[in-house]
Structure 1
Amino acid sequence: MNILKNLTVYVFVFILFLFAGCSVDDHLQPVTINISGLSSLTGNWSSLGITTQAAMEIAEEDINSYFAGKGSSFRLSVTGYDTQLEAEKAVGFFNAAAGSGTRFFIGPQSSAELAALLPLTSASNSLVISQGSTAGSLAIADDPVFRFCPADKIEGAAIAQTIYEQGIRGLVTIARDDAGNKGLQTSTGSSFSTLGGTVQALTPYGTSISDFTAEIAAIKAQITAFTTTYGADKVGVYLASFDECVALFKQAAADPVLSSVRWYGGDGVALSAALIGDPDAADFAISTQFFTPTFGLPDAYKTAWEPLIARIKTKTGIDADAFGIAVYDAMWVIAKTIEASNGVPSDLNALESQFVTQANAYVGATGPTNLDTFGDRASGSFDYWGIEKVGSVYQWKLVGKSN
């Protein structure tokens, strides 16, 4: 009888231990939070899209190691969607992911895509963090959209100052017909005029055209007019574009008038693999001393961003710029938001507030990630990239920085 009683006690204790073990194991099972990336992986501006996806994957690895080391029950998981820089596709992917419970989005990278998502963000109960949108028209207070790059007013002022300091007095501007590039055309032209220069803003061209005959004729006519007034050495062309600049440059290369003046670009073509991959377009860029700004990486944080650029290049073969590195910082601000909230707040206002608090306190590979009242990067400097030919190889080269 005692043996049976003891056996019953042992079995009872074993069962308690078994259930207790299951509870502990269940408790330790990590809570996975998905971050969806909306990037152009195969379309226009794919250089940023590809480095964005790589930066998200590297951040996922680093953050999950951090969480594990602290005994946190949270983990991040990233999913990438190829929007091809098309607003309709960005909306479709956003709706599908948000409908499945995603609360955080990195991207989209263009202002046109972000503008299409804007009306959907609050109802989705999600935060959207763009790494590449610059349109001033999207600087809106108290919305769940944040931008980890400076808006076009900052970039436009910087490039206009540089163009003016190079002696240009007559500037022809033209842009792709989307919110981001038109915003850059407007802000650059406005700043250049304020400095004392003269601007002729041409009508933006369609997003799907491939024949730039009409645009080239219009640019040529204005170059000719400005040359009469100022001389060719004081005339420039500012083009805010994506990779379609390759087709435009190839056509422009056939006309000596267009090659007689300096050309400048917006950030949408900086470090473009498509541009250095086409010899005719690249030769035109070299002959016109073309350069383009990109959100700059501060030297003070080189020990943070230099290894990241190397890791991204190993994964992609592409040198990431500050827009791509800002993705890594955005992922960490998301992680800090989750950590500080012990999860993801169900209330969107609470989530926004915590995200802003963490962004304003965080110092990452791109430096301090302070946001302005519109949720955009509060400040930034710019690197200027031109193209050089080394042997038979075309490559991007850092040619200067904004003041």
Structure 2
Amino acid sequence: MALTTKAIAVIAVILLVVGFAAGWFLRTPAPEVAPQPEVVFGALLSLTGSASSVGESSEAGLELAVEDVNEYLLSIGSKTRIRVIVEDTKTDPAVALEKLQSLAGKGVRVVIGPVCSAEVETIKAYAEENGILLVSASSIAPSLAIPGDNVFRFCPDATHQAEAVARLMWEDGVRVVIPLWRGDVWGDDLVEATKGCFEELGGTMVDGVRYSPTTEDFSTELGSLNSKVSQTIAQYGDVDSLGVYLLAFEEVVPIFIQAQNYPSISTVKWYGNNAVALDKELISNTPAAQFAIRTGFPNPTYAVGKTEKYGLVDDPIRKKIGRPPNNYAFAAYDALWVATLSYLATGRTNDSATLKIALPQTAGSYFGATGWTVLNEAGDRKFGNYDFWAVREDNDTFMWEHVARYQVDPGLPGRLIYERKPVSLEEQVSLKPIKLGHVGDYSSICELYSTSEKKGQLLAIEELNAAGGILGRQLEYLDRDGALNVDISVRELKDLILSEKIDFALGPCSSSEALALQAVTGDYNIIRVSSIACTEAQTVDNYNGTTLQVVVNSYMEGRGQARRIHRDFPNAKKFYCFNQDYEFGYREQAAFEEEIKRLVPDAVIVGKAFSKLGETDYSPFITAMLAMKDDIDFVQSSLYGDDLVAFTKQAKGYGFFDELPFMALYDIDVLRALGKDVPEGVYGFARGDFFADPNPKMMEFVEKYRAKYNGEYPSGWAVLGYDAIYALKAAIEIAGTTDTDAVREALKGMDFTGLRGYTPVRAIDLMMVAPTYNGIITHESPYPFPIWRDVWKIDGAEVIRPEESVLEVRAALSNRTAS
């Protein structure tokens, strides 16, 4: 049977859990049970009642998941098939318990659902007593986040949503909030959580109005709310700083219809919740929809990344229900996949205790329609962003429109990204693109490095522009060739600043150029991001607050070399330093010498040599070192690129690497260029090659890069270029503007997590605390080029110059200048 494109994409997900399955069998022998021809799961969904819109979407997601899972099982020759028994809870906790008891009588041990937290609260005790696992796609009450229980939730708990809503209220200018909420565990928890977040920002949440979930006539509640709103307006004197926070299900429709009879509450801003976002009933009722438009009424829903898998699932669900599905439908889809994969990984057991252990481990290895489904210690979704939706009218038709996203990146504070960021007349510049001017070095030995850096930057820019840009502005990339020449680079950067009016600068390759360009950016007060040139002078000696250095600097790298050499050669005392004759080479050698003498007090530098950039004949250097081989324990070098390729080929012909241990910048580009000619066992260092740091975020980048660039593997320079753009994005969004002074302040002490992990930016020098990598070259590689073995990723915090030392260097330079 030929598989559909969608099925092939879904099956690809299974490969991500193969490692988990193998690990499971190694840790815990799978129970020997006969494969069941049919595995039955249960589902408790609110197909009727006040949460039917969520229930309908979730049912469509489960139906599609059953189709895809069974198609996968058929494709691998398995006789096992899955079936889901769907029960309607009517959004009633008592009915949910009855339906769970019915499913238990049919032998069901894993249940997808229920939809609402009140239902989960009511049935969880019975589930635990009877060995039943509950996997809810939409319950979010924080009080139900209990480690070790039988409840797993495939969306984050409401504390994350509370942060998002509080932040949106605050940025809207609201300073006082009155809640109107459904009196159940979901509503109570969310009011309390949002109150804490809003008051932490400096706002006030006054006593509001709580109503029973069975209420149908809201005149009493709305009358009380109207009085509170009138009193608050009189007290604070500003209607624009007051908001109403509504926590409701589909009773939002009668509430809004009746609310129009109360003048005060129709004049203030209203804010909603996840249960109302994308609700079909609200946009189907004209008076209610008009009230929503008049009061703004943005509603958050758990956001998922628009991955390829998302697209393959979105279209069929959309066709089933005739409208855009809420994201809990995708969470339900993933929940059934994880439940099935847990069943397969444990040897097809129906033992709930075994499945309870397997399910969170499977979730941690699964990337589905909602992305990575990793759970936290309470069994809830670990990470989560939120999309805000509001009702809009177009040609007499009401629809939901995306208005903002609340984004939380690891290590960074949450922030709002508006679909159309509101701006003042003085800020109309925000309608223009953000211009990035890149100075590469293509007509030189840096051609490979600059090209790779540019490819990484362009991939990041493409992604950001597709997602709406930064602060609603698209990014424009302007590229120039500095030709590894200081005068040319300066000329090109000045032209980019004066003629093209760039907002930020990128590049160059060499450290000598970088220092010259830094003087230019200082003169014009424009920030430049350096992702190849790594001289420490950019952030210490010549610091002027205009350079963000995302690449490890020469001081850190030289110290990293010394540490690796000392670790592997603890008895080595005599060192020869062979570097390039310019800023970078001198800095790297000096840092190595300082650190090796700290580690080995009686260490001796027996010789130093510096070759010019673009050297073609290395024989004098090679023969000189070989003549001293008995007096050399290790050769340190910072040669790179075409220079290192030429040196390696010539040195190999002399038998150099058989006589002397050697370390230089053997990154992917050099390893790829040398191929089989690269000497096995030689030491290499680099700044971000993917094989040295194959974390999930890095490998996802590798896949995207290869897809864009015809199967090419990215070098570390592409990694750094990509990180450079995203670091700049983070700073601009924190600042809320592209103004240089504001972005500089945002960069100081900024948390950032990129492809190389957590790499914050120091306030004292705008230096990213980046790692340095080293290893031993091997031809045993899964890639079409040699790599390293025994990789050591040295945390940047271990080798960066201490802040007090930075101040001492600057003071010494200042005194020298003054004298």
TM over 0.5: yes
Deviation at 1:30, TM superposition (A): 5.8
Partner AA of 1:238 in structure 2: Y
Residues 106 and 29 of structure 1: is their aligned pair in 2 closer, same or farther, counting only changes over 3 Å?
closer
SS at match of 1:95: helix
Kindly indicate whether residue 404 of structure 2 is the aligned counterpart of residue 397 of structure 1. no
Task: List per-residue Cα deviations over 1:274-305 (Å, max 9, x = no partner).
Answer: 11111111100000011110001224x2x221
Determine the structure 2 residue equivalent to 1:375: 379
Letter in 1 for 2:67: E
Aligned pairs, how many? 374
1:212 alignment counterpart? 218
Between the aligned partners of 1:89 and 1:226, the Cα distance in structure 2 is 40
For residues 197 and 161 of structure 2, the distance between their equivalents in structure 1, rounded to whole angstroms, comes to: 10
Deviations 1:178-208 (A, max 9, x none): 1112211111111101110011132420111
Which residue identity is paired with 1:316? I
Is the partner of 1:37 in helix, strand or coil? strand
Quick check: 326-335 or 217-226, which moved more?
A: 217-226
Q: Quick check: 1:175–1:204 contact (8 Å CA) kept in 2?
A: yes
Aligned-pair CA distance for 1:345: 4.3
Alignment pair present for 1:259 and 2:274: no
Equivalent runs, 1:2-401 vs 2, <5 Å? 31-228=37-234, 229-299=236-306, 301=307, 303-346=308-351, 348-401=352-405
Instruction: Indicate if the aligned counterparts of 1:174 and 1:201 stay in contact, CA closer than 8 A.
Output: no
Q: Aligned-pair distance for 1:29? A: 8.9
SS of aligned partner of 2:389: strand
Q: CA–CA distance in 2 between the matches of 1:136 and 1:57?
A: 29
Q: In the TM superposition, what is the alpha-carbon distance from 1:225 to its structure 2 partner?
A: 2.6
Q: Is the 8 A contact 1:51 1:324 kept in 2?
A: yes
Query: 8 Å contact 2:36–2:348 — kept in the other structure?
Result: no
SS at match of 1:134: coil
1:21-72 Cα shifts (integer Å, max 9, x gaps): xxxxxxx996211111111112112111111111111101100111111122
Secondary structure of 1:269 counterpart: coil
User: Which runs of structure 1 show a deviation greater than 3 angstroms over 4 or more consecutive aligned residues?
Assistant: none
State the Cα deviation string for residues 235-276 of structure 1 (Å, max 9, x = none).
100001101111111111122211111000111111111111
State the shift of 1:230 in Å.
Answer: 4.7
After superposition, the Cα gap between the structure-2 partners of 1:79 and 1:318, relative to the gap in structure 1 and judged at 3 Å, is farther
**Deviation at residue 79 of structure 1 after TM alignment:** 1.5
Distance 1:227 1:312 in 2: 45
Give the Cα–Cα distance (whole angstroms) in 1 for the partners of residues 287 and 209 of structure 2. Answer: 25
Secondary structure of 2:107 counterpart: coil
CA contact (8 A) 1:153 1:184 kept: yes
> Do the aligned partners of 1:291 and 1:386 also contact (CA within 8 Å) in 2?
yes
Task: State how far apart, in whole Å, the 2-side matches of 1:112 and 1:285 are.
Answer: 26
CA distance in 1, matches of 2:233, 2:367: 47
Whichever residue aligns with residue 311 of structure 2, its letter is E
Paired residues of 1:237 and 1:264 also in contact (CA < 8 A): yes
**Alpha-carbon distance in 2 for matches of 1:70, 1:85:** 39
Asked whether the 8 Å contact 2:376–2:382 carries over to 1, the reply is yes
Contact 1:370 1:377 in 2 (8 A): yes
Question: How far is the alpha carbon of 1:125 from its aligned partner?
Answer: 1.6
Task: Supply the distance in 2 between the matched residues of 1:285 and 1:102 (Cα, whole angstroms).
Answer: 42
Matched-pair contact (CA < 8 Å) for 2:108–2:132: yes
Unaligned runs of 5+ in 2: 1-33, 407-414, 416-819
Counterparts of 2:98 and 2:154, CA distance in 1:
23
Identity rate of aligned residues, in percent? 33
In 2, Cα distance between equivalents of 1:263 and 1:196: 19
Alpha-carbon distance in structure 2 between the residues aligned to 1:82 and 1:137: 25
Residue 392 of structure 1 aligns with an amino acid whose one-letter code is D
TM-score normalised by the chain length of structure 2: 0.45
- What displacement does 1:367 show? 1.0
TM-score for both structures, normalised by structure 1: 0.90
Contact kept in structure 2, 1:135 and 1:180, CA below 8 Å: yes
Residues of 2 paired with 1:247 and 1:187: CA distance? Answer: 26
Residues of 2 paired with 1:344 and 1:286: CA distance? 52
Deviation of 1:318 after TM superposition, in Å, equals 3.0
The answer to which structure has the higher helix fraction is 1
Q: Which runs of 5+ in 1 are unaligned?
A: 1-27
Give the secondary structure class of the aligned counterpart of 2:263.
coil
Q: Which amino acid is 2:401 matched to?
A: K
Letter in 2 for 1:352: K
Code of the residue aligned with 1:124 in structure 2: it is N
Partner of 1:15: none
Which protein has the larger Cα radius of gyration, Structure 1 or Structure 2?
A: 2
Tell me if structure 1 keeps the 8 A contact 2:209–2:225.
no
In structure 2, the partner of 1:10 is none
Whether the 8 Å CA contact 2:109–2:350 is kept in 1: the answer is: no
C-alpha distance after superposition, 1:1-32 (max 9, x if no partner): xxxxxxxxxxxxxxxxxxxxxxxxxxx99621
Task: Give the letter for the 2:256 counterpart.
Answer: F
C-alpha contact (below 8 Å) 1:184/1:266 kept by paired residues: no
Residue range with higher mean Cα deviation, 211-220 or 368-377: 211-220
- The residue type paired with residue 378 of structure 2 is F
Q: Secondary structure at the match of 1:81?
A: strand
Distance (whole Å) between structure 1 residues aligned to residue 270 and residue 188 of structure 2: 17
Greater Cα shift, 279-288 or 182-191: 182-191
SS of the counterpart of 2:221?
helix
